[in-house]
Structure 1
Amino acid sequence: MKYYAVLLPMANQEKSERFRPQHLSFLESMRQAKHVKANGKFTDGSGGLVIYRAASFEECESFVKQDPYIQNGARNYEIHEWDAVWAE
Structure 2
Amino acid sequence: MMYLAELIIVDQEKNTASRPAHLQYISDLYEAGSVFEAGPFLDKTGGLVIYNCDSEEEALHLANEDPAVTSGARTVNVRAWQPLAFPISGQ
Query: Under a length normalisation based on structure 2, what TM-score does the superposition of the two structures give?
Result: 0.90
**Structure 1 unmatched ranges of 5 or more:** none
Q: Distance in 1 between matches of 2:29 and 2:10?
A: 22
Deviation at 1:11, TM superposition (A): 1.1
What does residue 65 of structure 2 align with? 66
What does residue 20 of structure 2 align with? 21
Matched, 1:43 2:42: yes
Change (3 A) 1:44 1:22: same
- 3-state SS of the aligned residue for 1:27? helix
Deviation at 1:60, TM superposition (A): 0.5
Runs of 4+ in 1 over 4 A off after TM superposition: none
Deviation at 1:43, TM superposition (A): 1.0
The alignment yields a C-alpha RMSD, in angstroms, of 1.3
Q: Distance in 1 between matches of 2:41 and 2:76?
A: 14
Question: What amino acid sits opposite 2:6 in the alignment?
Answer: L
% same residue: 33
**Structure 2 unmatched ranges of 5 or more:** none
Deviation at 1:85, TM superposition (A): 2.3
Question: What amino acid sits opposite 2:48 in the alignment?
Answer: L
Deviation at 1:87, TM superposition (A): 5.2
